[in-house]
Amino acid sequence: WQAGGDGARGGAGCTLSGWYRLREAAPYTALDLELGRVAGWFAGRMVWGSDWPHTSFPVDALPPYGGNWEPVARVLPAPQQNDAASLAPDRLYA
């Protein structure tokens, strides 16, 4: 995670997605502290993604769509949630 702080100081952004790729299971509460730290480093430069179509899962075992948003909703304040879901993508990809 320290490399993430270095990247943030250099102006990089990050995508908030694919929690299961961090070898955690829903509801991903074990990641809350780290997510809060990352949110501090990358404020204004985070983009949320659902990671659909979840290619690492069989079709009959896909994670629930809303479960990928849960950590963001639980850890980030509403303005940061809105920024990651709507505003930052517009700024970064427009």
Cα(15)–Cα(65) distance, integer angstroms: 16
Strand partners, 59: none
State how far the Cα of 80 lies from the Cα of 85, in Å rounded to an integer: 8
| Each residue's pLDDT expressed in tens, for the chain with a length of 94 residues | 455 567 777 888 899 988 888 888 889 999 999 999 999 999 899 999 888 777 788 888 888 878 889 999 999 999 999 999 999 988 888 7
Phi first, then psi, for residue 91 (nearest 5°) are -65, -45
pTM: 0.83
Q: Rounded to whole angstroms, what are the CA distances from 24 to 16, 41, 63, 90, 92?
A: 14, 22, 12, 30, 28
Half-sphere exposure of 77 (CA within 13 A, CB side): 4
